[in-house]
Amino acid sequence: MVAPTHFQSAIVLGAGVMGSGIAQWLAQNGVKVEIVDTSLPLANEAHKRILLDWSKLESKGKFSSEQVRQFQDNIVALETSQMSHNADLLIEAIVENESIKKQVLKELDQKLRPHCVLATNTSSLSVQAISSELSAERQKRFLGLHFFNPATIMKLVEIIPTVETSMDLIADVEKWLRGLGKVTALCQDSPGFIVNRLARNFYGEAMRINGPTLNEDKMRQIDTIMKEVGGFKMGPFELMDMIGHDVNYQVSQSVWQAFHQEPRFQPYRLQASLVQSGHLGRKSKKGFFRYD
Ligand code: NAI
């Protein structure tokens, strides 16, 4: 068995907000990465964003040109039909939908090499449930690795074992992540883990104070108070706009459902309106605020 503390190669499945951040972070840390999406243009778009970010960081003096050249050599963008299946680690960062994740991972399980560690970046779904259709051997090498956005900057990674996950693997992965400067938190496989469970009320109460329509002055006031007085880096409204309302609404619903519709976790109807109108936050240039 290859020791996971020496991941040399990785596949990041899903080249969206999280997948691109995780792939960028891996490439910066010497791991050969395939960033993969359902179509090549989607994967290429993420690749372009990563290259642009490195060039900005190089011009700010955060990385040398030599470092950036090495990072560039570590990453390739592919569509799913082109991926190698040869990696030591595969991190899944596709849509937050249990049945889709299960189906995709079940198919991958057949093709990946036996030593490959499989991880899901789910924010709120049951890691145990996602693992249910994997082979018994892969289940021992399957875990939740919940990175935060932006994954290159945010230090925290929640680690979520299932009942089958090898505890040696967990210890190795923890060591590997810490060695690369991440702060790890071992979590139970309960809805929202730690951060997203706590965060439901950070977002939910802010939306209830704002009321049923978008009130820009109120939202800015709440964000300002939480930052200036509360010491948070971002207020709840700008943070939800950064996460994306499609993703955040899905997480709100799954945490609420998993807690048997407990009122304190109930999603807010404004979230549904934003998603239905395509106002997904920064990624669509409009959410609670405009980003023209
Ligand atoms: P996103 O919508 O930005 O990206 C998802 C990507 O996956 C899209 O590019 C989509 O084309 C691709 N995709 C869908 N099905 C696929 C398949 N079968 N094979 C390959 N690619 C596929 O979503 P985001 O925000 O990156 O979220 C991804 C996962 O990470 C979700 O499980 C989410 O809950 C989780 N997450 C999100 C965070 C956030 O702040 N947005 C934070 C931490 C976790």
In angstroms, what CA-CA distances link 181 with 67, 93, 176, 177, 241? 18, 21, 9, 7, 27
pLDDT of 3 > 70? The answer is: no
The length of the chain in residues reads 292
Distance 64 CA to ligand 1 centre (A): 30
pLDDT of 49 > 70? The answer is: yes
Catalytic annotation present for 107: no
Confidence class for position 6, pLDDT limits 50, 70, 90: confident
Q: Say which of 47, 121, 126, 146 is annotated catalytic.
A: 146
Cβ–ligand 1 contact at 16 (below 6 Å): yes
pTM of the model: 0.92
pLDDT digits (tens, 9 = 90+) for 138-155: 999 999 999 999 999 999
pLDDT of 2 > 60? The answer is: no
Average pLDDT, the chain: 95
Cβ–ligand 1 contact at 72 (below 6 Å): no
pLDDT of 62 > 80? The answer is: yes
Mean pLDDT confidence for 175-183: 97
Cβ–ligand 1 contact at 119 (below 6 Å): no
CA angle (89, 104, 100) in 5-degree steps: 130
Confidence class for position 104, pLDDT limits 50, 70, 90: very high
